[in-house]
Structure 1
Amino acid sequence: MDAAYDAAPWSDFAVGTAGAAAALAGLLFVAVSINIQTILAHRGISSRAAEALILLVTPVFLSLVLLIPEQSTVALAVELFVVATVAGSALGWLSRPGSRAHEQPLSSWLGTTVVPAMVVAVAPVLAGVGVLTESLGGLYWLPAAVALGLLGGLTNAWVLLVEILR
């Protein structure tokens, strides 16, 4: 079976992603705990912390789905759909236009909130459909979700750690 549609060849990618994303999510907790008073004092910043956490842990769950041994393609696709639905619903709520802090420029909000949220929500669905139909590039959508999830999560973590103190 082609690597695009079979989870087995993705195990090294999944192990590396799970470890890195979990470590970064842990560091986010440190960043939030350091600045918790400031985060709670500003409208929209606590939502940004929640979004950062979801962006960082979604790659962990995507990786865990890939690491389940000898599962069927239907099971893998369903699991990808579930992760995408849960993460996408939460990210959709947190990144709605009314949640943007007035201090955050529109371009920053689009680049660090909306685009990562959309990719993290849609790419696993495309991967799942691709696995089921052996089309669309299959699992090759997952690195996009992982990369944008980590980038969006790290950017928001930086804001929570450094930028809110300026």
Structure 2
Amino acid sequence: MESGLSAWSEFNVAMAGAAAALVGLMIVAMSVNIRVILTGYTLPARAASAIASLTLAIVVAGIGLMPALDERLYGIIVVVGGLVSGVFAVHATRKIFTDTDHAARVRGPKSFFGLVPPGAFLLGGALLIAGNDAGLYAVATAVVVAIVAGVVISWVVLIEVLR
């Protein structure tokens, strides 16, 4: 029975492929509506946050396939990726909370979907750096959360375009 990171290879292949397909579809869908998206106060930042989350899922799953990768080094990579993705999420959150449009009342849920993926990656990476066996499960959960959040944010952005 495989242990450690190598035991997650099939999961990582599936998640990298799924996230790559989704980010490709999302970019095409958004590019069709790019002029309208760019006119929205929060939409560009929220779209960037979704792209960052999905891209991080691809990167983390792909790097997780590298042979003989040390789990602590993997944890460092995941933390760095979480921080970079977090920059996009924090920027989107700032835009959401400074939006003066009357329809922008629901700020918490809008921010939640952007902030959870980077936070989940940071937690998983920190657990790996600490040598905790739960780190790989936390990173796997972060990848799934990033995919779900990326889809939700993208859907909302595309729906907002039609309002």
Tell me if both proteins adopt one fold, taking TM over 0.5 as the criterion: yes
Q: Paired residue for 1:22?
A: 20
Q: Paired residue for 1:140?
A: 137
Distance 1:150 1:78 in 2: 21
Q: Retained in 2: the 8 A contact 1:127–1:142? A: no
Distance 1:88 1:110 in 2: 12
Q: Kindly provide the CA deviation profile for residues 111-151 of structure 1, in whole angstroms up to 9, marking residues without a partner as x.
A: 3223344324x233234224xx2x26120101221122111
Matched, 1:99 2:95: yes
TM-align CA RMSD = 2.2
Q: 1:154–1:19: structure 2 CA closer, same or farther, 3 Å change rule?
A: same
Q: Retained in 2: the 8 A contact 1:31–1:157? A: no
Aligned length: 158
Give the structure-2-normalised TM-score: 0.84
Identical aligned residues as a percent: 28
Q: Shift of residue 70 of structure 1?
A: 1.2
Question: Tell me, which stretches of 5 or more residues in structure 1 are unaligned?
Answer: none
Give the structure-1-normalised TM-score: 0.83
Q: Paired residue for 1:109?
A: 110
Q: Shift of residue 39 of structure 1?
A: 0.5
Q: Paired residue for 1:128?
A: 128
Aligned residue for 2:41, secondary structure, equals coil
Distance 1:25 1:48 in 2: 14
Q: Paired residue for 1:162?
A: 159
Aligned residue for 2:64, secondary structure, equals helix
Choose 33-42 or 79-88, whichever is displaced more. 79-88
Q: Shift of residue 36 of structure 1?
A: 1.0
